[in-house]
Structure 1
Amino acid sequence: MEYSVAKDAIFCLNCYLFKPDYGDQTGGEVFVNKRYNNWKDKAKVKKHVGDHSSTHNQCHAKCVDLMNQRQHIDVNLDCVLKKGKSDYRIHLNASIDCIIFLLHQGLAFRGHDESVESKDQEIVRDKQPFSLLVDESRDVAMKEQMTIVFHYVDKMGCVIKLFIGIVHVKNTSAKSLKTAIDAFFVKYGLSLTSLRGQGYDGASNMRGEFNGLKTLILRENKFAFYIHCFSHQLQLALVKVVSKHSALGEFFQTLSMLSNTVAASCKRRDLLRDNQYEYVISLISNGDIQTGRGLNQECTIKRPGDTRWGSHIGTIHSVINLFSSVVGVLRVIEIEGDDWQNKSQARSLLRIMENFEFVFLLFLMKKVLGITYELSQALQRKDQDLLNAMQFVQISKRRLHKLRNEDTCFDILLKEAYDLCKDNDIPIPENMEDNFGRTKRGIAPITNKHHFKVELMYTVLNNIQ
């Protein structure tokens, strides 16, 4: 019912719109063309409305349908057109693929049987494209296992990384991995034609140009582009730097030996903990360090990982913080070791650690790996995109360039190394302009500054950049 202020009367909008469908009805003419303002007689209004099957209620139901936009013809037509466009695009792309294939093979465009009953008819389906992430490793039972992860974009436009499962493989050759992937796809009704990306590590069985897994898949689907993990590429670059520099190779080998020797038993870890406790107490009593919540926490030497080069930064930090305590533990092992091998290893480690070059490399690699570690963490962020990744790479390169070309950076490294050596009674070069080591026959002598700045610092930074 609608009330008209101008005529001071009520009208029935539903009956006005759909009266031709039902003709006259109880009081219909009064509520449609005339006007009803007999306010004392309310029973006539209820009589006009009637029960649920009355003419008025039928008109009201039609009016509700009219106001529902989802039932409008143009809306339904638009939905049909969108689906038709989508189906047409799918069939068009399939036709283009077939034409390209026939052109490359030099085959005829028309077949001998184009009937509806022909088995050569191809049903095109709108399949979800996805990327494949694969890695393999051994479990505790020494069995090779392959992990499969899918990467795709859902209907809402969100990037989804979904762990699919673990597959046992007899070996980690490219052919064995490809066979396992094919069997997995067949089992779950998947197709390599929907594959749009491959993500593996840098192992030869994965990224080999001729017989690697990515090559075997590309032979079947040229759109399955291979992307090497940016973070893993960074780790490989650092490993390559170490392999080319003898001093760095010995340095990281020493770190690995330290973590294995000092943390070889509970007794040695307890000894390291006790030494560090006494050292911290002495620093606090002398006023060299502050106390407070979260400060001076108990720690140990972190073991570096072979597959994660970024873990070495944690080992370097722990060795710097526990340097005095580690030296104390090695001296105890040198004297009270279980056998001559432990004593000899402790003596060798002490000879390397109590050398200014080792301390200098500690702070140099702390600075270098600190920069690359921040870059590695940024590259592994889930919300990272290619543009931001390239910007982070450029920022890291500028920081490494600054470290190489500003003399103040080298002076800061020297001061940090000097301070640690003085605290642990390690001999330091008195003059950087003096000759370094012994002069070899036929080779011009070099200064201490040239050795530490050029042969160590510059060489490392040049190889990384």
Structure 2
Amino acid sequence: MEYSVAKDAIFCLNCYLFKPDYGDQASDEVFVNKGYNNWKDKAKVKKHVGDHSSTHNQCHAKCVDLMNQRQHIDVNLACVSKKGKLDYRIRLNASIDCIRFLLHQGLAFCGHDESVEYENQVKEQMAIVFRYVDKMGCDIECFIGIVHVKNTSAKSLKTAIDAFFVKCGLSLTSLRGQGYDGASNMRGEFNGLKTLILRENKFAFYTHCFSHQLQLALVKVVSKHSALGEFFQTLSMLSNTVAASCKRRDLLRDNQYEYVISLISNGDIQTGRGLNQECTIKRPGDTRWGSHIGTIHSVINLFSSVVGVLRVIEIEGDDWQNKSQARSLLRIMENFEFVFLLFLMKKVLGITYELSQALQRKDQDLLNAMQFVQISKRQLHKLRNEDTCFDIFLKKAYDMCKDNDIPIPENMEDNFGRTN
């Protein structure tokens, strides 16, 4: 029991904490809400306590369990058997050893050879994700599972989906949408997976990922422009050449360290927490076009260091092929056109990258997506038609060329005339 000086009454702390249904025991909830102060009638206190099975004693037992540290959730979670801990440690150590070996050897985490004689074939798997609206009207996206398929043909995928739905007690008739990438086996108009599902359920409308459509459009535009195609090919070659070995990556890191130290000593850059972090050239990927902007950023930040590594490879390369490739990359990089394209594509891909990230948001709807597309189109239109934007790129290209002793064309109109 607890005594309240303010109310001059006693309360039952055990019953107050758990508040069960008292019934007729000891004046209902007097010992919980009102407080008991009839000091002449002490029998009701004993009646409230009751026998060993009374409500009060049940509440008291719950309070004892609450105060007992051995009953706490964290303690019970920690009480894992020694054998379970040992088994977990063995599995963890084995996984870490495998990861270290693969990283040290520069090997992939999964196989890539599906020939019959290959001993490490990779299973074809299909990930299934459900997207639905709950009772509160919230858009929910859940990863359901991974299904093993014999091959990636549309018929095989459809059979796997049917079996998965049956296993989970679901029906394709409840499906109201389906979304895949642009591969022919997925979105084919005659025998694609989306067509096979639409034959059974005409309401399962197919939607091609907006972000993937954007990437395909960018790839198509680049493929039609020879200068940009050569530019992105050069970025890929730079990544493969400079980051081809640990020795070259260490050389790039050392060159960048010395370069940053010189800038700090001259007061050209600031220092502080999170600034001047170690970085390397990011590898671009054609299937993930958004990765190219990361490559461009890293080349701009490491430009002088990359040039230094290429000069070392040109002289001390393992063979004439490495030396020749480094020499060719140096001729391309030490050119005003390449420097200008770095800053131009940084801006262009920056706009499209923001649009791509917006289109991939889980809570994105069609109206907002269309607005983002319009905003990006206006930004690109402004970039194309306003001279101030063009002058900004020229200024940045000039500054980088001066810092790296790259010749600047005297007559810009002859070299960079605008085209429609």
TM-score normalized by the length of structure 2? 0.70
2: CA distance between counterparts of 1:244 and 1:35? Answer: 85
Mean CA deviation greater in 27-36 or 257-266: 27-36
**Aligned CA distance change for structure 1 residues 153 and 74 (closer, same or farther; 3 Å):** farther
Mean CA deviation greater in 181-190 or 22-31: 22-31
State whether residues 22 and 29 of structure 2, in contact with CA within 8 Å, keep that contact through their aligned partners in structure 1.
no
Deviations 1:157-190 (A, max 9, x none): 2222121111122221212211211222222222
* 1:26 positional shift: 22
2: CA distance between counterparts of 1:295 and 1:408? Answer: 30
* 1:20 positional shift: 33
Deviations 1:350-370 (A, max 9, x none): 111111111111111100011
1: CA distance between counterparts of 2:371 and 2:149? Answer: 39
- The residue that corresponds to 2:37 in the other structure is 37
* 1:279 positional shift: 0.9
State whether residues 352 and 376 of structure 2, in contact with CA within 8 Å, keep that contact through their aligned partners in structure 1.
yes
Deviations 1:332-362 (A, max 9, x none): 0111111111111111111111111111111
1: CA distance between counterparts of 2:51 and 2:313? Answer: 101
What CA RMSD, in Å, does the superposition of the two structures yield over aligned residues? 17.2
* SS across alignment from 2:21: helix
How does 1:166-245 map onto structure 2 within 5 Å? 166-245=146-225
* 1:382 positional shift: 2.3
Deviations 1:384-413 (A, max 9, x none): 222222211111111111101101111111
State whether residues 22 and 28 of structure 2, in contact with CA within 8 Å, keep that contact through their aligned partners in structure 1.
no
Deviations 1:242-286 (A, max 9, x none): 111111111111111111111111111110011011111111222
* 1:374 positional shift: 1.0
Deviations 1:415-448 (A, max 9, x none): 1111111111111111223467999xxxxxxxxx
1: CA distance between counterparts of 2:283 and 2:167? Answer: 41
2: CA distance between counterparts of 1:161 and 1:280? Answer: 44
* SS across alignment from 2:112: coil
State whether residues 139 and 363 of structure 2, in contact with CA within 8 Å, keep that contact through their aligned partners in structure 1.
no
State whether residues 15 and 28 of structure 1, in contact with CA within 8 Å, keep that contact through their aligned partners in structure 2.
no
* 1:156 positional shift: 2.9
Select the structure of larger CA radius of gyration.
1
Mean CA deviation greater in 278-287 or 332-341: 278-287
2: CA distance between counterparts of 1:269 and 1:110? Answer: 24
Identity among equivalent pairs (%): 94
2: CA distance between counterparts of 1:208 and 1:171? Answer: 16
**Aligned CA distance change for structure 1 residues 4 and 253 (closer, same or farther; 3 Å):** closer
**Aligned CA distance change for structure 1 residues 215 and 68 (closer, same or farther; 3 Å):** farther
Q: Does 1:61 align with 2:41?
A: no
Mean CA deviation greater in 155-164 or 315-324: 155-164
* 1:80 positional shift: 50
2: CA distance between counterparts of 1:235 and 1:200? Answer: 14
Mean CA deviation greater in 90-99 or 41-50: 90-99
* 1:53 positional shift: 21
**Aligned CA distance change for structure 1 residues 185 and 424 (closer, same or farther; 3 Å):** same
**Aligned CA distance change for structure 1 residues 325 and 44 (closer, same or farther; 3 Å):** closer
Mean CA deviation greater in 389-398 or 93-102: 93-102
* 1:108 positional shift: 62
Alignment match of 2:246 (pick from 254, 266, 284): 266
**Aligned CA distance change for structure 1 residues 401 and 213 (closer, same or farther; 3 Å):** same
**Aligned CA distance change for structure 1 residues 432 and 154 (closer, same or farther; 3 Å):** same
Deviations 1:70-123 (A, max 9, x none): 999999999999999999999999999999999999999999999999xxxxxx
Structure 1: runs of 5 or more not aligned = 118-141, 440-464
Deviations 1:115-159 (A, max 9, x none): 999xxxxxxxxxxxxxxxxxxxxxxxx322111111112233222
2: CA distance between counterparts of 1:96 and 1:275? Answer: 31
Mean CA deviation greater in 291-300 or 410-419: 291-300
* 1:293 positional shift: 2.0
State whether residues 28 and 48 of structure 1, in contact with CA within 8 Å, keep that contact through their aligned partners in structure 2.
no
State whether residues 141 and 362 of structure 2, in contact with CA within 8 Å, keep that contact through their aligned partners in structure 1.
no
* SS across alignment from 1:146: strand
Deviations 1:201-225 (A, max 9, x none): 1112111111211111101110000
State whether residues 332 and 338 of structure 2, in contact with CA within 8 Å, keep that contact through their aligned partners in structure 1.
yes
* SS across alignment from 2:410: coil
TM-score normalized by the length of structure 1? 0.63
* 1:65 positional shift: 35
* 1:383 positional shift: 2.3
**Aligned CA distance change for structure 1 residues 415 and 156 (closer, same or farther; 3 Å):** same
**Aligned CA distance change for structure 1 residues 87 and 183 (closer, same or farther; 3 Å):** farther
Deviations 1:275-333 (A, max 9, x none): 01111111122222222222211111111123211111111000000000000001101
2: CA distance between counterparts of 1:363 and 1:218? Answer: 46
Mean CA deviation greater in 27-36 or 263-272: 27-36
- The residue that corresponds to 1:147 in the other structure is 127
Mean CA deviation greater in 286-295 or 367-376: 286-295
Mean CA deviation greater in 276-285 or 61-70: 61-70
* SS across alignment from 2:144: strand
2: CA distance between counterparts of 1:65 and 1:43? Answer: 28
**Aligned CA distance change for structure 1 residues 351 and 192 (closer, same or farther; 3 Å):** same
2: CA distance between counterparts of 1:18 and 1:332? Answer: 76
1: CA distance between counterparts of 2:85 and 2:383? Answer: 58
**Aligned CA distance change for structure 1 residues 43 and 94 (closer, same or farther; 3 Å):** same
1: CA distance between counterparts of 2:236 and 2:242? Answer: 10
1: CA distance between counterparts of 2:416 and 2:319? Answer: 36
Q: Does 1:374 align with 2:348?
A: no
2: CA distance between counterparts of 1:349 and 1:74? Answer: 59
**Aligned CA distance change for structure 1 residues 99 and 194 (closer, same or farther; 3 Å):** farther
Mean CA deviation greater in 405-414 or 83-92: 83-92
1: CA distance between counterparts of 2:378 and 2:102? Answer: 52
